[in-house]
Chains A and B, each alone.
Chain A
């Protein structure tokens, strides 16, 4: 069965510092995608970054990078130079690339950036 685990319910980081949000996954599918979404207090879900299981390089999008370690089945999100606006819930998600392409989400990590 597929599973996403986010073990950090809450994290604090000082403004301008980097922070890593952990995500581990479990799947028997050879091909899958990994995603991170941000949910600010206003409630919308914002796509941040995507990593394919066959991608050789770690994905990066501006201040976001995904530290993909396939053997460890981890897909940690790294936010560099944290800003106050980064305070939000962050969700890791996985999509199988076969069958119905179902997405599953982790339980989320609440990040608070301190001034």
Chain B
């Protein structure tokens, strides 16, 4: 059973389009995260939700909007995609906001043409 799953795994789209990435965890964790990993492998947190409540919102363009319908799901919607949005996006979860370990999803490679 996959603990943290993301769909799609690959996403290729044109500039200006709107796209969503979905994330689900079946670990019963309270906290979920979105990270962006750029082409140089630098991993940076974007958002974090604890029990459906936004607790971390880094300096991210407001074209990015996370949504957590329940604590097992955290989706990422991106409006008006730009070339610089091309990256690998990772979802992760931890038992609590201060949980010892984050478990990562397999990542979604977004390519904006």
Contact = CB atoms under 8 A, between A and B. Distances in A.
Same complex for A and B? Answer yes
A95 B55 CA distance: 14
B43 interface: yes
A47 interface: yes
Nearest to A49: B101
Contacts of A53: none
Contact of A43 (B40, B44, B102, B107): B107
Contacts, number: 54
B55 A100 contact: yes
Interface residues of B, number: 23
Contacts of A95: 98
Interface of B: 33, 40-45, 48, 55-56, 88, 90, 92, 97-98, 100-104, 106-107, 109
28 contacts: A33-B98, A33-B100, A35-B102, A37-B104, A39-B41, A43-B88, A43-B106, A43-B107, A44-B104, A44-B106, A45-B43, A45-B90, A45-B92, A47-B101, A47-B104, A50-B100, A91-B43, A97-B98, A100-B97, A101-B48, A101-B55, A101-B97, A101-B98, A102-B56, A103-B45, A105-B42, A107-B41, A108-B42
